[in-house]
Structure 1
Amino acid sequence: MPERFSAREAIALVTDDFTPAVVAAPTGPDAADQPVRADGPIGWAGYDDSRARAAERTGEDESVLHGTATVGGRPCVLVAFEFGFLGGSLGRAAGDRLVAAYRTAVERRLPLVSLVATGGSRMQEGMVALVQLQRVAAETVRLRAAGLPHVAVLRDPATGGGWATVGAGADVVLALPAAQVAFAGSRVRPADADPVAYTAEDQYAHGHVDAIVPPDRLGETLTLWLRLLSPAPTGPRSPAPAPLPRALGALAPAGTGWDAVVRARAAERPRAGAYLDDYFEVRATIRGDRAGGVDPGMECGFGLREGRVVAYAAQDGGATRPAGFRTAARLVRLADRLGVPVLTLIDTPGAANDAEAERAGAGPAIADAFAAVAGARTPVTSVLIGEGGSGGALALAAPDNTWATPDGYFSVIAPELAAAILKRPPEQVPETAGQLRLRPEDLLELGIVRGIV
């Protein structure tokens, strides 16, 4: 069974201190300022009594608490849902508090942390409750436009509109072990539904959650994410490009094009993990494409390099799947919004081309990665550390700022495939590799890379 925490317990679990906000509904054209009526906005019989019992049971006057806090010494705006108060449901007053929290984050230029435990929208308020999701969505857009991060923690349960807006709308999504995480709550699912599909672990497996974090590590994990994502005190960052990593493999030039291919494919050559470990002091991973897919061969996240934050997207040497390209695009766009420089490490024989990859949208996913890199305003630095097979590799390469290590190669197509297309026998594959001009030295001469690391 998942471990459940009240809002106050969850706050105590992760914060150094918490200062509740003075509750006041926002003003303006989007304010939910209808007059208070007996039994709520639609006159649901007994609603006032239900609220009174919930308040007596929990000690809270609504399902959402918000205020300012520090986590690991870092300031933030914090939202916590109280599931004991009518199932942590969203109504008009809860919506007011969420709007106030998002706006406080923007006004004070602070990251937002939400501790989500909710059953969805409050049926006793009808459509007045449901439209709170639109208000939250609008504030999410404003938060993103301000270049401010949102980290959500999914407690048990995190379902309905609260998951589909506050939770799933966050930049980084953490979840407690075994928590229910789903759009459909436990009482509205099909009778024959697989219960596993409604768990944090399954959401993690399918790329909707970045990490499963046990309660005793939640504070330190949030502290790290706030350290990596917190905005600069005076406004958006204006970063210089990420510094180049050092080459970890062979340093001497490859004699021929085929020599370069063989060396790049060698099992003992350092892969992305070795480069990331060598480059960063500490790092944290984002996972999945938020569309149901995870590519374990694409590592993405944020890390500290000599005390400076750098985002990274790194291929690990295998064929990159559509989910990998979409995850990389997600990473680049998030870093761009936060003003964080990006480092991409290129190492793939090419994009996955099996039937499953085609059905998962290989072409659109590659196009999305190209667009994310091309449209980035933050500096993107790319390093070819191994194989650079066709468009699946080029999609992660920064125009005019791509470098190569001596044991990499970049090619319009694999030499074997080029020979097959040209109807050449297998023994002519090495010669074909040479004709493709794919060595780092060739790439430098052709102006494809800026230099050899």
Structure 2
Amino acid sequence: MAERTTAGRATAGRATAGRLTAREAIGAVVDDSTFAELAVSERASAPDGPIGWEGYDVSHARAQERTGERESVVCGFGAFGGRRAVLLAFEFGFLGGSLGERTGDRIEAAYTAAREERLPLVSLVATGGSRMQEGMRALTQLQRVAHQSALNRAAGLPQIAVLRDPTTGGGWATLGAGADVILALSGAQVGFAGSRVRPPDADPAAYTAEGQLTAGHIDQVVAPQELRASLGRWLTLLAGRPDSPPAPAPPPAAFVAAQPPETGWDAVLRARAAGRPRAGAYLDAYFELREPVSGDRCGGVDPGMLCGFGLREGRTVAYAAQCGTATLPAGYRTAARLIRLADRLGVPVLTLVDTPGAANDHRAERAGAGAAIADTFAAVATASVPVTTLVIGEGGSGGALALAAPDHTWVTPDSYFSVIAPEAAAAILKRPAGAVRDTADQLRLRPQDLVELGMARGVVGRG
């Protein structure tokens, strides 16, 4: 791909209503003087565009004069914290950042360059959607973008989207929502429906970056002044050359050096102790740097499931960690999404098991608990990258087993793993309450039992 340096070029378009132009947005995130614009051949256009929209040529010329750009997207190469990537940025001042045929040409060129150079793609999105003046020829650019995105996904190349204000319509439904990691600037308008086409009684909060985060549709909301550092961290985590094949992540060290529990009930009490270290403590001790992903992309978030990517001794490891609560369907779907993304990028996975079991109330059933758990089992079972599991607390039935790696699960001294909780087992067997302790012994759920039964490879020691 030919490229031409434009780092020293003055910004022709100016920010309006607090919005940055495409080049200002680029300058705000890339390392100084590293942006080199792609040279993209422009197709010939019929008078007033592909559907002969009267006055379109005049509007297009005015947009060029006003912004200094020839189209609504600027694309090229840039460095983020020393990590090189392909970058495309929308110019909202150019016909509302709309997607037309020439916009599609530029976006395709950016994706192609990323594949040729084996680089991540970062999209700074600010668009109102497809360009009406080009009719269906504009709308079909969404299929073109989706195809290019799929090619890069199949090539194992990460895609990061930054949602600026506004990100609506097809731009949100392809470049935005279709990215591997979705960041949004605080306060940005984000939604499929633009402000002029929403139902009159629509809740405006649902169309904000913060609303989309709450609903599980994006990973992080980032303040504008923090975006450069955030992208640098993400590219550090995702742009490195992974091992081929990747080595398994080592299990974290335990926080305790206690003797193995004497009885099954002792193991249960240890795992349920209020002061026991939880997933956040293990992740903080294990990683030098980590960035979270959030949400199941289906309208749900589970605060009891921590997912993301971290840096461990210079190597990226993906993690999915239960936090000791009953895991919601959204938590399982988020974990499955994380594991599949890590698999595609060639990144090993660490899972931390700590749950009394899957949430089983009526809300969880209506949210698809069974399907979500099944999908997590499938994600672990089909992962081509190694998955390492450490049971750090309660291992409650299938809700815990869904995250456990067959043949590569470890346990801590203050954990247990059981086919069912001792209290539930006693109740099902119609035993008196006083029989719970004996039932716990019969279940053979202690850490040393799990090793003896071949369910765990070993009990990890304190670091």
TM range (shorter): over 0.9
1:326 equivalent in structure 2 = 333
Distance 1:82 1:376, change over 3 A: same
Tell me the distance in 2 between the aligned counterparts of 1:47 and 1:277.
55
Report the 3-state secondary structure (helix = DSSP H, G, I; strand = E; otherwise coil) of the residue aligned with 1:87: helix
Contact persistence 1:346–1:387 (CA under 8 A): yes
Tell me the distance in 2 between the aligned counterparts of 1:2 and 1:322.
41
Tell me the distance in 2 between the aligned counterparts of 1:308 and 1:367.
30
1:282 equivalent in structure 2 = 289
After superposition, the C-alpha distances for 1:19-59 in whole angstroms (9 at most, x for unaligned) are 1110125xxxxxxx6x5200000000000000011111111
2:388 equivalent in structure 1 = 381
Tell me the distance in 2 between the aligned counterparts of 1:156 and 1:8.
15
Structure 1 segment 72-111 matched on structure 2, within 5 A: 72-111=81-120
Contact persistence 1:2–1:178 (CA under 8 A): no
Q: CA offset at residue 276 of structure 1?
A: 0.4
One of 21, 37, 40 as aligned partner of 1:6: 21
Q: CA offset at residue 446 of structure 1?
A: 0.7
One of 33, 41, 44 as aligned partner of 1:24: 41
Q: Does 1:272 align with 2:279?
A: yes
Tell me the distance in 1 between the aligned counterparts of 2:256 and 2:109.
53
Contact persistence 1:264–1:407 (CA under 8 A): yes
**Which segment drifts farther, 240-249 or 317-326?**
240-249
Contact persistence 1:282–1:304 (CA under 8 A): yes
Report the 3-state secondary structure (helix = DSSP H, G, I; strand = E; otherwise coil) of the residue aligned with 1:289: coil
Tell me the distance in 2 between the aligned counterparts of 1:348 and 1:440.
16
Structure 1 segment 65-214 matched on structure 2, within 5 A: 65-214=74-223
After superposition, the C-alpha distances for 1:38-89 in whole angstroms (9 at most, x for unaligned) are 0000000000000011111111110011011111111000000000000000
Count the aligned residue pairs. Answer: 443
User: Which amino acid letter does the alignment assign opposite residue 145 of structure 2?
Assistant: V
Tell me the distance in 2 between the aligned counterparts of 1:322 and 1:60.
46
Tell me the distance in 1 between the aligned counterparts of 2:211 and 2:74.
28
After superposition, the C-alpha distances for 1:217-244 in whole angstroms (9 at most, x for unaligned) are 1000000000000141xx8742100012
User: Which amino acid letter does the alignment assign opposite residue 317 of structure 1?
Assistant: G
Name stretches of at least 5 consecutive residues in structure 1 with no aligned partner. Answer: 26-32
Q: CA offset at residue 249 of structure 1?
A: 2.9
Tell me the distance in 2 between the aligned counterparts of 1:276 and 1:146.
29
1:359 equivalent in structure 2 = 366
Tell me the distance in 2 between the aligned counterparts of 1:360 and 1:145.
30
Q: Does 1:15 align with 2:15?
A: no
After superposition, the C-alpha distances for 1:82-115 in whole angstroms (9 at most, x for unaligned) are 0000000000000111111011101100000000
Name stretches of at least 5 consecutive residues in structure 2 with no aligned partner. Answer: 1-15
Contact persistence 1:344–1:383 (CA under 8 A): yes
Contact persistence 1:231–1:237 (CA under 8 A): no
Which consecutive segments of 4 or more residues in structure 1 shift more than 6 A?
none
Tell me the distance in 2 between the aligned counterparts of 1:200 and 1:36.
36
Distance 1:176 1:2, change over 3 A: farther
Tell me the distance in 1 between the aligned counterparts of 2:422 and 2:142.
53
Contact persistence 1:109–1:231 (CA under 8 A): no
Report the 3-state secondary structure (helix = DSSP H, G, I; strand = E; otherwise coil) of the residue aligned with 1:424: coil
Tell me the distance in 2 between the aligned counterparts of 1:327 and 1:306.
25
2:264 equivalent in structure 1 = 257
* Root mean square deviation of aligned Cα: 1.2
Tell me the distance in 2 between the aligned counterparts of 1:72 and 1:6.
22
Tell me the distance in 2 between the aligned counterparts of 1:334 and 1:2.
37
Q: Does 1:350 align with 2:357?
A: yes
Structure 1 segment 398-413 matched on structure 2, within 5 A: 398-413=405-420
One of 341, 347, 350 as aligned partner of 2:348: 341
1:431 equivalent in structure 2 = 438
User: Which amino acid letter does the alignment assign opposite residue 353 of structure 1?
Assistant: N
Report the 3-state secondary structure (helix = DSSP H, G, I; strand = E; otherwise coil) of the residue aligned with 1:399: coil
Contact persistence 1:237–1:338 (CA under 8 A): no
1:30 equivalent in structure 2 = none
Q: CA offset at residue 250 of structure 1?
A: 4.8
1:419 equivalent in structure 2 = 426
Distance 1:130 1:405, change over 3 A: same
Report the 3-state secondary structure (helix = DSSP H, G, I; strand = E; otherwise coil) of the residue aligned with 1:157: strand
Report the 3-state secondary structure (helix = DSSP H, G, I; strand = E; otherwise coil) of the residue aligned with 2:35: strand
Contact persistence 1:105–1:112 (CA under 8 A): yes
Identity of aligned residues (%): 70
TM-score (norm. length: structure 2):
0.94
TM-score (norm. length: structure 1):
0.96
Tell me the distance in 2 between the aligned counterparts of 1:342 and 1:204.
24
User: Which amino acid letter does the alignment assign opposite residue 197 of structure 2?
Assistant: V
